[in-house]
Amino acid sequence: MLPKVFAQLPFVNSPAVQLLARATSRQQLAHAYLLKGEVPQGLQLACALAQSLFCAQQGCGICRVCQQVASHQHPDWHQIQAAEDSRSQVIKLEQIQRLVHDVGLPPHQASHQVFVIAGAENMPKASSNALLKTLEEPASNSIILLLTPHLARILPTLRSRSQILYLPPPVSSPAPDDTLWHWEQLEAIQSPAQLPALRSHLDNLSAEALILQLQVFQRECWHKIRDFIVSKHSLAGLQRAKAYLQLFEDSLQHLHSNAHKDMLRESFAQRYLHLRQGTGAPRSRSHAQKGFS
C-alpha cells in the first residue's frame, strides 16, 4: 500500500510515483533523481518524498512535519531555483556551491536532507560542473532531485549520474468546443494520402487551440503507452514510445518559443507520418516502428 502522500498525488498511477514510493518503502532510494516533466508536478512528487522520509508516520500529510514540508519551511528541505526577480533566470554558481556545502552537513531534524533544484535546465555549465562531484560522491543521508521539462538541456554527465523518472504531462483544460481530435483520429493517419486531412485540421486551429491539441495528443498518447512502458516489452517499443512523446514535446516547446505556426504544423505532420510509417523522423534518434501495437 502506498504511503498516503504518494496515493494523493493526481498522477499516482504514473511509473515515476510507483517507483519512488516502492524505493522509499524498501529504503532503496538512489542518491539523485532527475524528474523530467513540468516543475510544479516535480515539486509535488519531491514534497511527497520528503514527507514520507521526514514524517514519523511515513507521510501522513497532516502532521506538523508534513505541513512544514508542504510550505517548504522544513529545515531539511532545500529548494534551489533561479530568483523570481532575475531577468536571466539562471541558477547561479553560488547557489550550487551552497548546496554542495550543505549536502555534507548532517540533517537538522530528519534522517535525510532533500535538495531540490527546480528548473535545473537553468544551470549554466559552471553550476552544472560544480554539482557533478557531489553526484559522483553523494552523502548517504542526502537526496538530490533535479526538476526540468527540458531533459536535453541538462548536461549528459549529470543525466548519467542521476536516475531519470518521467512525469506524465499535466491535464489540460478542455477546448471550448468539440474541434479537437483525439489520439485515435491522429493514429488513423497512416499514409501520405491521408496527410492533407491532418494538415487541414491543424490549419483550422488558432495558436491557443493548437497548444491544447498537442497537449491532448500528448496526454492521450501517454495514457495509451503507459502500461507498455511499465512492462517494458521491448527496447524497440520503448524507443518508439519515446519518439512519439518527443514529437509532442518539441512541437509544444517551439510554439512556446513563438515559432511560425504554419511551419510548425507542416513539420509536425511530416514528423508524425515518418514515425507512423516506421521510416524514422527528422531530428529524431529513435528507431520508430508502425504504431504502438
Give per-residue pLDDT as tens, 27-40: 899 999 999 998 98
Residue 75 predicted with pLDDT over 50 = yes
Note if the pTM is more than 0.95: no
CA 13 vs CA 19, 21, 106, 226, 243: distances in Å: 10, 11, 34, 9, 22
User: Looking at the structure, do residues 57 and 189 belong to the same domain, yes or no?
Assistant: no
Which one has a higher pLDDT value, 253 or 195?
Answer: 195
Quick count: other Cβ atoms within 10 Å of Cβ 287?
12
**Per-residue model confidence (pLDDT) at position 287:** 35
User: Looking at the structure, do residues 57 and 124 belong to the same domain, yes or no?
Assistant: yes
Quick count: other Cβ atoms within 10 Å of Cβ 18?
14
Sign of the four-CA dihedral 235, 237, 240, 244: negative
Give per-residue pLDDT as tens, 192-209: 888 989 998 998 888 778
Q: Quick one: which H or E segment has residue 274?
A: helix 261-277
Q: Does residue 289 fall inside a structural domain?
A: no
Q: Which range of residues forms the domain containing residue 31?
A: 4-166
Q: Does residue 282 fall inside a structural domain?
A: no
User: Looking at the structure, do residues 155 and 111 belong to the same domain, yes or no?
Assistant: yes
Q: Residue 141 sits in a domain of what CATH number?
A: 3.40.50.300
Q: Does residue 105 fall inside a structural domain?
A: yes
Give per-residue pLDDT as tens, 159-188: 999 999 999 877 655 444 568 898 889 989
Number of domains comprising the chain: 2
Exposure of 190 in the CB half-sphere (CA atoms within 13 A) = 7
User: Looking at the structure, do residues 44 and 121 belong to the same domain, yes or no?
Assistant: yes
User: Looking at the structure, do residues 227 and 125 belong to the same domain, yes or no?
Assistant: no
Decide: residue 157, CB within 10 A, 0-12 exposed, 13-18 middle, 19+ buried: middle
Residue 103 predicted with pLDDT over 60 = yes
**Per-residue model confidence (pLDDT) at position 242:** 80
Q: Domain end: 131, 166, 201, which one?
A: 166
User: Looking at the structure, do residues 225 and 101 belong to the same domain, yes or no?
Assistant: no
**Per-residue model confidence (pLDDT) at position 87:** 67
User: Looking at the structure, do residues 160 and 271 belong to the same domain, yes or no?
Assistant: no
CA gap 274, 261 in Å, rounded: 20
What is the full DSSP assignment across 189-204?
--SGGGHHHHHHHHHT
**Per-residue model confidence (pLDDT) at position 2:** 76
Q: How confident is the model at residue 283 (pLDDT cuts 50, 70, 90)?
A: very low
User: Looking at the structure, do residues 156 and 220 belong to the same domain, yes or no?
Assistant: no
User: Looking at the structure, do residues 22 and 47 belong to the same domain, yes or no?
Assistant: yes
User: Looking at the structure, do residues 17 and 117 belong to the same domain, yes or no?
Assistant: yes
User: Looking at the structure, do residues 147 and 203 belong to the same domain, yes or no?
Assistant: no
Give per-residue pLDDT as tens, 107-160: 999 999 999 999 999 999 999 999 998 988 877 789 999 999 999 899 999 999
Q: How confident is the model at residue 279 (pLDDT cuts 50, 70, 90)?
A: low
> In percent, how much of the chain has pLDDT > 70?
86
